[in-house]
Amino acid sequence: MNKRRGLLVVFSGPSGSGKGTVLKEAMKMSDNLTVSVSVTTRAPRVGETDGVDYIFYSKEQFESLIQKDGFLEWACFCDNYYGTPKERIEALLSEGKDVILEIEVQGAMKIKETCPEAVLIFNMPPSSEELKKRLTGRKTDADDVIKKRLDTAVWEISQAEKYDYIIVNDRIERAAKSFLSVIEGEKCRPLRNRAVLEEYK
Amino acid sequence: MNKRRGLLVVFSGPSGSGKGTVLKEAMKMSDNLTVSVSVTTRAPRVGETDGVDYIFYSKEQFESLIQKDGFLEWACFCDNYYGTPKERIEALLSEGKDVILEIEVQGAMKIKETCPEAVLIFNMPPSSEELKKRLTGRKTDADDVIKKRLDTAVWEISQAEKYDYIIVNDRIERAAKSFLSVIEGEKCRPLRNRAVLEEYK
């Protein structure tokens, strides 16, 4: 039997919902998760490592890969490209790894279109009050910056119903467990168990 | 906030797939599961306790409850009625309990029609070979009895794709964990988290 194909998981959630922390905790609990590294044309920031934080491409390299249909999804923010490279993800899925794409809502919707087998999970903050507290926390920020950040978060949450699953990050350990349960549960879908059913035909 | 509603779970699988064992193991791991007790009009067998193995009704009692629309599903096998009582299950779900109905394929399909929110899980034996071994194991049985038992199992398995999830019972502990992951994952569905999303509207 071939190695069982891994699951492609899209993980989104507003800034302040604690996606990174949930993911880190989940990766402590399971050794089958891999977070996909995005490709970008923006300049590396201090402390960022090529291939770890991002894969850094020149604009020409990026556009050439677009031409070759080499991205699962890509977008342009503030004159910089960001994208999810197809080939590497396919290789990981074939190895049986569960691949996590930590991307924002528009990217997630593109993945849902191009990869219907992908599982979309949305990370919710513990409460609207707590979200507000976290996003207004840095007092150095101007009021309009804070307002924009809050508006974006509320818009993103309004899109959560388009996701397959919602995780409420009220306790990190519990949220991480829910994350892993969603993945384990999805692996029990009949369409992912064709080989098992075929045996009896 | 009201107590969160429990999940209605239908659990089916052919004789020899080890449903009972998986369920017993899952109940050791979670204290939120309750197995629903069916109502029947057949006579109690030696060692069976009313209210534990079955709720034993007279034919008149059973037919009266049918008239009152008191069953989620019911059927008649070999001149005996068997049914899933509605009221008690509703009470358990309201308390937040996850209620397991261990019923056969036709009953499961009826539940899917009447309770679309129910989650249907099918328990598969480890392999067709192992199933054959288990079902032919009792050498005292006549060949035609064995053949009928096998045919029934193969037919039931052919219906597994109609279920929401399939669990392969190759190792009991793993199967029980998958069973619980399916339940936990389903609780993360957006439609079961309306209240959380409403908070941001």
Residue B44 has a pLDDT of 93
- Taking CB atoms and an 8 Å limit, are B165 and A124 in contact across chains? no
pLDDT above 70: residue B2: no
pLDDT above 80: residue B198: yes
**Set of chain A residues whose Cβ sits within 8 Å of the Cβ of B98:** none
Q: Which of A82-86, A169-173, B2-6, B139-143 has the lowest mean pLDDT?
A: B139-143
Per-residue tokens: A56:
């850094």
- Confirm whether A1 is domain-assigned: no
Q: Which contiguous run of DSSP H or E holds residue B197?
A: helix B194-198
ipTM of the complex: 0.91
- Taking CB atoms and an 8 Å limit, are A200 and B163 in contact across chains? no
pLDDT above 60: residue B1: no
Please give the model's pTM, rounded to 2 decimal places. 0.92
Q: Mean pLDDT across the stretch B12-31?
A: 94
Backbone torsions φ then ψ of A141, nearest 5 degrees: -75, 145
Percentage of chain A beyond pLDDT 70 is 98
Using pLDDT thresholds of 50, 70 and 90, give the confidence band for residue A121. very high
- Confirm whether B176 is domain-assigned: yes
- Per-residue pLDDT of B48-104, as tens digits, reads 999 998 999 999 999 999 999 999 999 988 889 999 999 999 999 999 999 999 999
Our CA-based measurement puts residue A65 at a distance from the nearest CA of chain B, in whole angstroms, of 35
How would you write chain A as a 3-class SS string? CCCCCCCEEEEECCCCCCHHHHHHHHHHHCCCEEECCCEECCCCCCCCCECCCEEECCHHHHHHHHHCCCEEEEEEECCEEEEEEHHHHHHHHHCCCEEEEECCHHHHHHHHHHCCCCEEEEEECCCHHHHHHHHHCCCCCCHHHHHHHHHHHHHHHHCHHHCCEEEECCCHHHHHHHHHHHHHHHCCCHHHCHHHHHCCC
3-class secondary-structure state, position B193: coil
Residue A139 has a pLDDT of 67
**Set of chain A residues whose Cβ sits within 8 Å of the Cβ of B180:** 181
Closest to A84 (Cα-Cα) out of A72, A97, A99: A72
Using pLDDT thresholds of 50, 70 and 90, give the confidence band for residue A1. very low
- Confirm whether A152 is domain-assigned: yes
Per-residue tokens: A67:
């031409």
- Per-residue pLDDT of A128-150, as tens digits, reads 899 888 888 766 777 888 888 88
CATH number at residue A29: 3.40.50.300
Chain A and chain B share a number of CB contacts under 8 A equal to: 94
Query: What mean pLDDT value characterizes chain B?
Result: 92
- Confirm whether B53 is domain-assigned: no
Residue A21 has a pLDDT of 95
pLDDT above 70: residue B30: yes
d(CA B32, CA A106): 37
- Taking CB atoms and an 8 Å limit, are B161 and A190 in contact across chains? yes
Query: What mean pLDDT value characterizes chain A?
Result: 92
- Confirm whether B60 is domain-assigned: no
Supply the range of the domain harboring residue A23: 8-36+96-198
Using pLDDT thresholds of 50, 70 and 90, give the confidence band for residue A113. very high
Residue A26 has a pLDDT of 97
- Confirm whether B77 is domain-assigned: no
CA distances from A194 to A53, A76, A107, B60 (A): 37, 39, 29, 45
> Which DSSP symbol is given to B97?
-
Q: How many domains does chain A have?
A: 1
**Set of chain A residues whose Cβ sits within 8 Å of the Cβ of B157:** 197, 200
Q: Which contiguous run of DSSP H or E holds residue B11?
A: strand B8-12
- Taking CB atoms and an 8 Å limit, are B189 and A166 in contact across chains? yes
Q: Mean pLDDT across the stretch A20-46?
A: 95
Percentage of chain B beyond pLDDT 70 is 98
Task: Give the nearest chain B residue to A201 (CA atoms).
Answer: B158
Using pLDDT thresholds of 50, 70 and 90, give the confidence band for residue B136. confident
Residue A137 has a pLDDT of 74
**Set of chain B residues whose Cβ sits within 8 Å of the Cβ of A197:** 157, 160-161, 166
**Set of chain B residues whose Cβ sits within 8 Å of the Cβ of A160:** 190, 197
d(CA B4, CA B10): 19
- Confirm whether B167 is domain-assigned: yes
